[in-house]
Every structure is written in C-alpha cells, then in structure tokens.
Structure 1
Amino acid sequence: MTSDAHFWLTTAVVGMTIMLWASARLPEYLTALLFFASATLLNIVPTSTIFSGFASSAFWLVLSGFVLGAAIRKVGLAQRWANWLVVPLSQSWPRMVAGTIVLTYLLALVMPSNMGRIALLMPVVLALGERAGIKAGSQGSIGLALAVGFGTFQLSASILPANVPNLVLSGAAESAYQLHLQWLPWWLLNMPVVGIGKAVVLTGCLLFLFRAKPQPVKHRDALAPLSGSEWRLMGLLAVTLLLWMTDSVHGLSAAWIGLAAACICLLPRVGFLTGDDFATGVNFRTCIYIAGILGLATVVVDSGLGRLIANALLSVLPLQDHPSFGNFAVLSALVSLLNFVLTANGVPAMVTPMAQELAGASGFSLLSVIMLQVFAYATPLLPYQASPVVVAMGLGNVPAKAGLKLCVWVFIFSVLLLLPLDYGWFRLLGYA
C-alpha cells in the first residue's frame, strides 16, 4: 500500500469514527468497536497503537471508579452522605445545582483524579436527589449527573494536578522547553475564568435546560449507626484518597491506586461486591467507549495525521504579528478544532511542541501560547472530546442527546462571554 493510500485510509477511519460519535447515530460503544474492527482490518497502524486505550491508566481508572461507586452505593454510604447534604441543598433547585458544582470544585482541590472524583460524587449526588424527591431518570436526575461530570472536568482545569490534560500540557512544556509550571501561578491565571466564570455559565445552562422541583427536607433522617462494612469501606476510601492526594510524593499512578482499591472491594469475605454486583455495577459500554477515544487519539498522533492537520491549519491561520484579542481567539479556535480529532487529553501533546512557532507568528510569549490552551480544551463542543464527561454520563445513565445539548450551550456561552474575559485577565496579569 502506498503512503498516500495509507494516509487516506487512516483519515477515513478517524473521520467516520468522529462523525458517528458526534452525531450519536449509533451507540457510543458500537462506534468504538467499529473503530477497532476497521483499524485492525485495514492495518492503518500497529494493533498495539489501536488498542492502546486498554493499556492506558485512564481506562483502568474508569473501571476502578465504577467498582468504587458500586461499593459506595451497596453498603449505604451514598445514602448516608446524601443525608448530611440534603437539608442545605434541597431547599431549591438552583441551590442543589450550584451546590453540586461547588462540591466538584472543592473535591478537585484535594483529589487529583477526575475519574475518581466522579466515582465518589455521582452516587452521593444521585442519592441526594432521590432523597429530595427527584426520581432516577428524570430531568432533575439527568441535570445533577451532568453537573457532576461537567463541573468535575471543566472547572478542575483551573487546578494544575486535578486534570489529565493539565498534566499532559505541563509534561510537554517541561520536555520541550524546560518550563516548570507551578500550582499557584496556574491557579491564579485560570481560577477566575475557568473556575468561577465557568461555574456560573454551567449553572445557568443547567438551570435553563433541566428543570426540577426538589422537595425541601427540614430534618435529616435518623440513620442506624455505621455498620462494619461502612467503616471498612470508609477506611479504604480514606487510604485511597490519601494516596491520590500524595501521588507526587510516592510516584504511584492514581489509576493503579484505584485498581488496587477496586480489587479489595471485589475480594471474597474481605470486599463488598459479588460477581453479580460487578457485572451490574460496571458500565462496560462506557469502558469500551473510553478505550476507543484514547485509542483514536493515539492513532492520530502516531500516524502523523495530527501533525499534518496542525501544520495545515497553521498555514492558513489569520494571525497578526502583534498580540491582540483576534490572535488570542484564533489560537483558541485552533485548539478547539484539534480537540475534535485528538480529544482533550491529546490536544496539549500536539499543540505544546508547536507553541514556539505559534508564539512567533502571533506576537504572544511562549508561556502565553502554552497557557491559553487551558480554556480551549476545558470547553469541549461535543461530549466525546472529554472522557470524564462521558464517564459521568455513563454512571448517571444520561442520554447522549442531553449531554450533547448541554455541551453545545456551555460552549456557546463560554466563547461569547468567557473568552473575552480570559483575554482581559491574561492582559491584566501581563501574559498578553
């Protein structure tokens, strides 16, 4: 096969996969399986690249997150924690939505894993909704599940270690330019817009798209004392959370910590889940979907398709030779376009090595070009571009169209309202 034919085959497979995910014409797991089948049959890249998603730490963190979430629900901890939150949050629907989003951000300050935070929060928030009369599968339940997913992914981009794309960007900047990005400068630059501003936009969109009338709860239920299973699971979660928080000290990946905790949950007599609980508690459809997203991103990078797309876009970008809001918007648009192909985890790995050329063409500093990526990859247009959002939709049984609708509305208002604010904040701090 000639190199041109090989390139066009790769482009066709990647393009069809993205279109099927974006249009939701087929179930997301089926599209992932079709990607695996077509990529292997056509031999566009080595099979190790195609199936690299199954070897990724993100895949195993997703799987372990499902197991931990199932254990939290089974032993009753979700209902117990929801009982503590239900009085202050159930007084109104805006308070419930905003309170959920605030919870996602507070947890991101101490827990570095998006998937782990979603696994912990989702059963608690859904139990909170049911306690306030919001039935599973209702518009209110869908809105709460999306608040967990979108709040966890989008807002956490303002905290350096709390988001996988952030870590990819930091590592790429260090390896390419010896730039060591630090927690506090990152947070000061991104918190006002990506943290607070995004929270306001997300809350407004959720309240507009999803309506519910929670029943105000005046008093907490009188619950039985903590059982032995609850104490043991709380101990396991505390150790897991501590290890997640100190990953920079011991060097263990959050995925393998989560996998070890999941294995303990499944052990006979020691754990909390049976084989049947595992079969029903783990959404294997979402796991396959995540493996497909990660595999697709690796195929795009390893095949050279991503580099060709980036260079082609760079050659036609209407950049001026001095810093301006126009240049800021154009570079953000470049990251957003690449997000369609690479997804959020892959974008910083592709754009950061090009940052020097982009800085020269736009008049921005190298650090400014590197950092402006954060807003763009934290604002996906379609759910598949952010795997934590997909995981949250799976855990919360959210229909694909509901997630797509919220994603589009948040993207539109973020671009119209927050992108100019982001540029103004960059200028105020001397980055632009």
Structure 2
Amino acid sequence: MSNSSRPGLSPPATFPATLPASRAGQAASAPKASAGTAPAGKLSDSVRAATVIALCVAAVWLAGRATGAPDGLVLAAALVLSTVCCWALGVLPEPATTLLFFLCAILLHVAPASVVFSGFASTAWWLMFGGAVTGVALRQTGLAQRLAAIIFRGRVGSYRQVIGTVALSAVGLAFLMPSTTGRVLLLMPIVLALADRLGFAPGSNGRIGMVLTVAAASYMPPTAILPANIPNSVLLGAASSLYGVNLSYGSYLLLHFPILGVLKTFMLVWLVCRMFPEHGPIAALPQQEAGAPSRQEKLLAAILALAVAGFATDTLHGISPAWISLAACIVCLLPGVGLVSSRTLAEQVHLTPLVYVAGFLGLGAVVESTGLGTAISAALLRWLPLSPGHTAANVAALGAVGASLGLMTTLPGLPAVLTPLARQLAQATGLSLEAVLMLQVPVFSTVFFPYQSPPIVIAMQLGGVGLREGTRLCLALAALTLLVLLPLDYVWWRVLGYLP
C-alpha cells in the first residue's frame, strides 16, 4: 500500500524551513499524502479479494454443515470472517471493505440497521471526529509545535531516545487520564509536530515509528492499569455485578504491570527501533527563540485544558469523553473563534478513517447481537480438554479461547463475552474465580491486528499510517509476547500465588 493511499489526516501543509541534513533527501523524495488522490489499483486486486471472500464463505459453510449451526449464524460468521480477512490481509482498500460489510449486512438481513451502523453512534466515533478537528486546530495555530518543543526539549539525542520518550509519555499519561482515545487525541498532534521538526517526512520510518509507538503504548501497557481503558473497565464492572468480585487497583497493578506494562513498553521501544529504523544521527531541535503565544494559541490551550480535565474526571461527573471532545470541536468551529474554518474542516478532516472506524465498531456489534461470539466460545470450550490439575494447559487453553474470540471482534467487547462464562471455566479448570477473571487481561492486552483495538486504529488514521505497517508491528509484538512475556507472566502469577 503506498503512502498516498493511506487514509488519515493530511500532514501539515509545510515542513520546517531547514531539515536535518540526514533527512533532507528523504523528505524530498517522500511521497506526498493526498486526501483526494489514490492509485486506482489493478483488476487482479479485486480478483484476489473475491478469492479470499469465497474461501472464507466456503470454510464457514462447511463448518456450519458439520456442526449443524443455524443458517443465520452461518451467514453472520461468513460475513464477519470475510470482512476480518480483507482488513487483515489488505486485499481491498479499507473503505471498500467497510462499505461492502455495511451493504452485505443490510441486504442479507444479518442484523438490523441500528446494529450494523451503530458505530456511527458510538462514543469512539465521536471521540475520533472531535479529536480530528482539535488536531487540525493544534496544527493551524502552531500550538502543537510549541508543545512539542516544550515536552521533548533535550530528549532527542537519538532515535531510540525519541521513541522511548514517546512511549513513556503515553504510558505515564494512562495513570492520569482513563480514556485511551483521549490520550491518543492529546498526544498525536504533539508527536506529529515533533516528527516535522526532526525532519521525518510522511512515509519515513521515523514518522511511522513515532505514530505506531503512540498507538501501541497508549493501549497495550495501560491494560495493566485499572481503569485506564475500556476492556479492564468492562471487566471491573462485570466482575462486580455478576460475581461480587471487586478488583482492587493495587493488586491489579502488582499482578499485571511489571510484565504486561513495564517489560512490554521496553519491548515495544526495541521492536519499533528495529522494524522502523532511522540510522542517521538525530539533529538537535533548532533552538528558536519562542515568541509569545498568539491569541489563538492561548484560546486553544484553554479549550484543551478544560477538555483534558473533563477526560481525567469522567468517573466523577459521568460525561463521556466523546461529548467533551465534541464540545471542544464545536467551540473550535464557532464563527469568531477563528481556530478551524469550514474550508479547513472540509479539506483536512477526511471521511475515510471515520467510515473505517464505524465499520469495525459495527462488526463488533453484529458479532454480539447475532450471538456469534457466545456460540464460538461455547464451541471452543466443548473442544478444549479442560481438567483440574493441569494448570499450564488450562491457562493456555483459556488464552486460546480469548484470542480466537478477539480475532472475530474488537477487544473492548471481549470481557462482556468471557466474564459470564468465568464461573463455569473456574469449575472446569480448578482455578479460582478471580484467577479466571484476571486471565482475560493478558488476552486483551495482546493485539494481533490493529482492527481489534479501536484506539490503535484511530491513532494510525490520525497519523496517516497504513494498516500494513500497523499489522507488521502488532504481529511481531504479539509473537514476542507469546514467546517471552506470557511465560514470564505465568511464572509471576505463580510467585504471587494466583496459580497453583
């Protein structure tokens, strides 16, 4: 996938007047992102997509015949699997896959329109829309560049140091702001401004690495912090309402953060530097005499400060971060405020990423409403050999069930499917109920494909990074997690006495 075809916000219209020498040639040769121009592709791409869809439909039909599944469930499974494979393999452009999912779901009566298009009414969609507008305002006013200079001053001696600082900023912010998407919306314009100042042009390894670091570090390590994102918040509420189990902040942090938080952050930094390297020296940020903030910068800073305060205290006032983000967006668009004009809104806030986000949120709703997730989990549990006394095998089997469900839907919905089965799983494995509940965390913290985590996709879309690069990083990090981190996590659980 070429950089020009990647959906997302357009990069800033201009780059710094003087790029570091090692980047000048790279910036000059980098492809220009364009919202309206994208290669048409080849007919063979459509043939390949049709082949993938046909194979998915055939596989689901054969499985449905073998298991005697109802026709409605088979139809839903075929649609979901085809959509997921097209997204994961990139055989069709993201908007084409998403729109095809919408069309087939409606024409084949897989689910009601209110379910299929529920992504457009979701808080995640409105968070992204509001964040896209405020991101444009940050760039237009120059506030993003000013914040980048303040936050990263003296911390860019090497590319590894840049990536490490970005990752630590994303994880550290999780202790203060419980909304993952809110953290992404706050950090992304600042990180993009820093990338511009360092001379990392759109499509360069440095820029891709910085964007993907924000995406991954904002979601994956914070799953070990309660309540720093949607999945562990859902787990917290479901465990309390269904079983009366109250997960405490301290015990949750001690169990998960050392491995899934700290070590995973270090692994992420190492992997990004290895997969998206920048071999040239990083020039120091130009020491420019900072002028006084403009009226627009001061106004936008006040708007964002109020929004961040609202994000951080949403558990107190009960107002979703989505509506706080939308309110900030509206203020930026008001006549007389002068932060984002109607023309700028039309040119720089693009439809493609918004449609894509609505698509994978709608897919998760379809999986839930059709009962597909429950049916898959029940089938997997019947096939898996769970028995008390085989702790390692039981833990691996439960992880496989969760990972399989996570591939069919988005990870935020995983606790809603698995938590009602926890008591049954505890009896089958001989593990404690709390241990079975906590075993969901390593599952929803491991992302195989970007579409599984809405905040990761939103970050990639805002940063103009394509699914191919995001998928490469997610698969590599998931492989290292399975091979290195999860065995260490298993040992850590035994040390703490959660596993026999």
Compute the displacement of 1:80 (Å): 0.5
Q: In the alignment, what sits opposite 1:237?
A: 304
Greater Cα radius of gyration, structure 1 or 2? 2
Q: In the alignment, what sits opposite 2:157?
A: 91
CA deviation map 1:276-320 (0-9, x unaligned): 222233232111111111111111111111111000001111323
Q: In the alignment, what sits opposite 1:403?
A: 470
1:9 is the counterpart of 2:100: no
Q: In the alignment, what sits opposite 1:215?
A: 282
- Map 1:186-225 → 2, pairs under 5 A: 186-212=252-278, 213-217=280-284, 220-225=287-292
Structure 1 residue matching 2:224: 3-state secondary structure: coil
Hey, what's the Cα distance between the residues in 2 that align with 1:277 and 1:219?
29
Q: In the alignment, what sits opposite 2:424?
A: 357
Q: In the alignment, what sits opposite 2:356?
A: 289
Structure 1 residue matching 2:202: 3-state secondary structure: coil
Contact 2:220 2:445 (8 Å CA) reproduced: yes
* The 10-residue stretch of structure 1 (123-132 or 30-39) with the greater mean CA deviation from structure 2: 123-132
Unpaired runs of 5+ residues, structure 1, are none
Contact 2:157 2:282 (8 Å CA) reproduced: yes
Q: In the alignment, what sits opposite 1:320?
A: 387
Compute the displacement of 1:329 (Å): 2.0
CA deviation map 1:125-183 (0-9, x unaligned): 12112212222321110011000001101111111222111122222222221222232
Hey, what's the Cα distance between the residues in 2 that align with 1:189 and 1:281?
43
Hey, what's the Cα distance between the residues in 1 that align with 2:429 and 2:285?
57
Q: Measured at CA, do residues 271 and 310 of structure 1 come closer, stay the same or move farther in structure 2, by a change above 3 Å?
A: farther
- Map 1:322-337 → 2, pairs under 5 A: 322=389, 324-337=391-404
Pick the aligned partner of 2:119 from 23, 30, 53.
53
Instruction: Please give the TM-score of this superposition, normalised by the length of structure 1.
Output: 0.96
Compute the displacement of 1:261 (Å): 1.1
Pick the aligned partner of 1:161 from 189, 204, 227.
227
Q: In the alignment, what sits opposite 1:74?
A: 140
Q: In the alignment, what sits opposite 2:25?
A: none
Contact 1:158 1:190 (8 Å CA) reproduced: yes
Pick the aligned partner of 2:328 from 240, 258, 261.
261
Hey, what's the Cα distance between the residues in 1 that align with 2:224 and 2:69?
41
Hey, what's the Cα distance between the residues in 2 that align with 1:283 and 1:346?
27
Q: In the alignment, what sits opposite 1:150?
A: 216
CA deviation map 1:74-96 (0-9, x unaligned): 11111001112444232101111
Q: Measured at CA, do residues 163 and 283 of structure 1 come closer, stay the same or move farther in structure 2, by a change above 3 Å?
A: farther
Q: Read off the aligned partner of 1:126 and give its amino acid letter.
A: L
Hey, what's the Cα distance between the residues in 2 that align with 1:418 and 1:224?
47
1:248 is the counterpart of 2:315: yes
Q: In the alignment, what sits opposite 1:184?
A: 250
Q: Read off the aligned partner of 2:142 and give its amino acid letter.
A: G
Hey, what's the Cα distance between the residues in 1 that align with 2:478 and 2:196?
29
Contact 1:243 1:257 (8 Å CA) reproduced: yes
1:32 is the counterpart of 2:98: yes
Hey, what's the Cα distance between the residues in 1 that align with 2:235 and 2:252?
12
Hey, what's the Cα distance between the residues in 2 that align with 1:135 and 1:214?
16
Compute the displacement of 1:4 (Å): 2.5
Give the helix-richer structure, 1 or 2: 1
Q: In the alignment, what sits opposite 2:8?
A: none
